[in-house]
Homo-oligomer: A and B are copies of this chain.
């Protein structure tokens, strides 16, 4: 695998391949051609062949891909059999949804600690883990050495916590729901953002833009 050459756009398609393959596998489909997979995923067969070639290629001409083998290979490529110890900071509505909704173990992560500074939450349990005071965060991390931190915090607390985790604990991997852009200052950090409100605003733009276009057409008619 020549990973240096794999573009972020291919990488971002990997989980989607994995999802589709997982469905096919669950439906006991044994083999699939690149054109069949393409039509299911809304891609072209040639794009699928190109994507798979980034990872060494899996298919046999005229024979299709073995679903099970491809599914397993993608799991390995994604690294989902790792069990990266992970702390969650922020157990408000969003943090709770993330903790409850996401199946960490099947995605390569293991939740080892949850932190909040709300006294009403501290001591209660979430997904079987006792929520600790944020005051314990640095000590806990020094002792347990998590690989990943999930930030379910507003922008400013996101900044405080991220800087502390980077500078005092050396954490370099973040799943970031806050609006603090960690990589602007820390180029070596691996960060994936989930910016729900950006997604909603993009939706608003696209709806509004379509209505503007419609109105413009109506006026010229």
* Chain A contacts to B: CB under 8 angstroms: 1, 3-4, 11-12, 14-16, 18-19, 40-42, 77-80, 82, 84, 92-94, 96-98, 100-104, 107-109, 147-148, 173, 175, 179, 181, 183-184, 190, 192-213
Contact = CB atoms under 8 A, between A and B. Distances in A.
A197 B102 contact: yes
5 contacts: A15-B202, A15-B205, A84-B204, A97-B101, A108-B201
Contacts of A212: 1, 3
A88 B80 CA distance: 31
The majority secondary structure among interface residues of chain A is helix
A209 B109 contact: no
A192 B200 contact: yes
Contacts of A16: 195, 198
B202 A12 contact: yes
Oligomeric state, in copies: 2
A200 B197 CA distance: 18
Contacts of A147: 207
B11 A202 contact: yes
Contacts of A100: 93
A198 B93 contact: no
Given A15-B202, A204-B80, A205-B14, A181 B102 contact: no
Nearest to A187: B42
Given A16-B198, A42-B181, A197-B102, A79 B208 contact: yes
Contact of A199 (B3, B173, B175, B211): B175
A158 to B, nearest CB: 13
Nearest to A97: B97
